């Protein structure tokens, strides 16, 4: 079949297997064009490994550190003539590329919140990998079932304390609109923390530790985002922000639990990038289009793979083995984004953006290109007029 992008609001409902493969290859080529990370991990587990920062972390682990990797994700294969999700195609492509270079790469597709998937991962690691020295936790999901109680929680994206209105970019119509979100209830806050907080990260590390599968000196890292003040009411100070506070609580608890083996839990605050999740947050997509234009003009623009390459080389696995942290004990990979010259420029531009000035003041085209690349479209060297089999599977 000939596969074309079909965008419905903030989601593209099709994905291109050849395009996703080419996109993964581009990221691998970028990593291999940089110096190898000499003291990096040798066995890495990436929970949430199929897209975005999780995928980039796995690529860097494999192709900069020459690590064996196990990826855990929840994606849909092709069925009944429908294309698979892009994360499925990404994971197939990564496994193929890693094995071609003699690296162990394995995948588990299922609900990472469940005890069943944790047990599968433990058995896979024990049988094929040995002890893990890096666990990347990069999971984002709308709901979670607690494996102990069976109760299902759903996360919400809401402000706390009062309703919140802000302008956003309607990418379908290329217009600036205004959205109002109702204030969260206490139940909304609790449920979002249960889904997006640090509880499941703790359960993964606890399970691996009890199984004796964490190496001495192991590291585990989860990802966070803080962003500019213009997005704080909906993000940093909203329900998601409460979940991120809990993530930091979990970091401290995990680090304490890993002290006997010299391990450490870390949180990396990353730069704003185009993801399926960020596209749906009112205000954030507009901020990203402004940010991209400014950072491309002034320098320092990074995507997921550039960011993770820098995280591994300049933070997690520096030659002197030190890890620079801020006053809150966080790794700040958003340092370039949050530079005063960048944020001052964003603050100046923000009120000037209207439907009429979108092209002039934002990188709308660049945002759209990055969005479509998430689904394998618009990648150089791919013949999108060719007949393609949507069914692609692991070896």
Kindly report, residue by residue over 157-187, the tens digit of the pLDDT. Answer: 999 999 988 888 888 889 999 888 899 999 9
Q: Is 177 left (phi over 0), alpha (psi -120 to 50) or beta?
A: beta
Q: Please state, rounded to an integer, the average pLDDT across all residues of the chain.
A: 95
pLDDT exceeds 90 at position 280: no
Residue 45 is predicted with a pLDDT of 98
Residue 229 is predicted with a pLDDT of 87
Count of structural domains within the chain = 1
Residue 171 is predicted with a pLDDT of 85
pLDDT exceeds 90 at position 234: no
Share of the chain above pLDDT 90, in %: 87
Tell me how far the alpha carbon of residue 373 is from its chain's centroid. 15
Cβ-based neighbours of 194, under 8 Å, separated by 6 or more: 144, 146, 153
Angle at which helices 284-298 and 364-373 cross, to 10°: 110
pTM: 0.96
Query: What is the mean pLDDT of the segment spanning 186-206?
Result: 97
Query: What is the mean pLDDT of the segment spanning 250-254?
Result: 98
At residue 312, φ and ψ (nearest 5 deg) are: -70, -45
CA distance 33 to 81: 38
Share of the chain above pLDDT 70, in %: 99
129: in domain: yes
Cβ-based neighbours of 274, under 8 Å, separated by 6 or more: 288, 367, 370, 371, 374
Tens digit of pLDDT for each residue in 354-368? 999 999 999 999 999
Domain hosting 232: range is 7-142+193-280+301-335
pLDDT exceeds 80 at position 63: yes
373: in domain: no
229: in domain: yes
Residue 212 is predicted with a pLDDT of 98
**Which has the closest alpha carbon to 114: 76, 70, 148?**
148
Q: Which strand ranges, in their side-by-side order, compose the sheet holding 214-224?
A: 105-109, 68-73, 43-47, 132-137, 214-224, 264-269, 331-332
pLDDT exceeds 90 at position 230: no
257: in domain: yes
Residue 382, SS3 per DSSP: coil
157: in domain: no
pLDDT exceeds 80 at position 11: yes
Sign, CA torsion 123/129/134/139? negative
Q: Which of 30, 168, 235, 287 is catalytic?
A: 235
- Report the CATH number at residue 82: 3.40.50.720
156: in domain: no
CA distance 108 to 111: 9
381: in domain: no
Residue 242 is predicted with a pLDDT of 96
Residue 248 is predicted with a pLDDT of 97
152: in domain: no
Tens digit of pLDDT for each residue in 208-226? 999 999 999 999 999 999 9
Residue 153 bears catalytic tag: no
Residue 68 is predicted with a pLDDT of 97
Query: What is the mean pLDDT of the segment spanning 44-60?
Result: 97
Higher-confidence position of 284 and 76: 76
pLDDT exceeds 80 at position 74: yes
Tokens at 94, concatenated: 């990564």
């Amino acid at each position: 079949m000939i596969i074309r992008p079909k965008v419905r609001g903030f989601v593209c409902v099709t994905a291109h297997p050849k395009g996703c493969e080419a996109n993964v290859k581009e990221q691998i080529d970028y990593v291999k064009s940089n110096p190898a990370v000499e003291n990096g991990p040798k066995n890495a587990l990436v929970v949430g490994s199929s897209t975005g920062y999780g995928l980039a972390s796995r690529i860097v682990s494999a192709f900069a550190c020459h690590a064996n990797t196990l990826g855990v994700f929840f994606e849909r294969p092709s069925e009944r003539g429908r294309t698979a999700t892009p994360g499925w195609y990404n994971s197939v492509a990564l496994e193929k590329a890693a094995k071609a270079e003699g690296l162990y790469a394995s995948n588990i597709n299922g609900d990472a919140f469940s005890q069943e998937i944790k047990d599968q991962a433990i058995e896979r690691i024990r049988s094929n990998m040995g002890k893990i020295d890096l666990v990347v936790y990069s999971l984002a999901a709308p709901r979670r079932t607690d494996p102990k109680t069976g109760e299902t929680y759903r996360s919400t994206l809401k402000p706390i304390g009062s309703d919140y209105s802000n302008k956003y970019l309607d990418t379908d119509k290329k217009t600036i609109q205004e959205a109002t979100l109702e204030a969260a209830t206490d139940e909304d806050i609790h449920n979002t923390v249960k889904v997006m907080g640090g509880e499941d990260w703790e359960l993964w590390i606890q399970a691996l530790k009890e199984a004796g599968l964490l190496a001495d000196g192991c590291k585990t890292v989860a990802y966070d985002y803080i962003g500019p003040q213009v997005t704080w009411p909906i993000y940093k100070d909203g329900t998601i922000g409460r979940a991120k506070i809990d993530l930091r609580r979990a970091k401290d608890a995990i680090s304490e639990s890993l002290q006997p083996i010299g391990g450490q839990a870390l949180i990396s605050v990353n730069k704003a990038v185009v993801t399926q999740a960020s596209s749906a947050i009112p205000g954030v997509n507009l901020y990203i289009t402004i940010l991209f234009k400014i950072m491309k003009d002034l320098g320092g623009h990074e995507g997921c793979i550039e960011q993770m390459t820098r995280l591994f080389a300049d933070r997690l696995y520096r030659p002197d083995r030190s890890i620079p942290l801020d006053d809150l004990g966080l790794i700040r990979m958003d340092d370039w984004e949050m530079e005063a010259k960048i944020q001052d420029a964003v603050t100046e531009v923000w009120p000037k953006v209207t439907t009429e000035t979108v092209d002039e003041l934002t990188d709308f085209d660049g945002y759209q290109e990055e969005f479509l690349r998430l689904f394998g479209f618009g990648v150089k060297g791919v013949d999108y007029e060719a007949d393609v089999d949507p069914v692609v599977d692991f070896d």
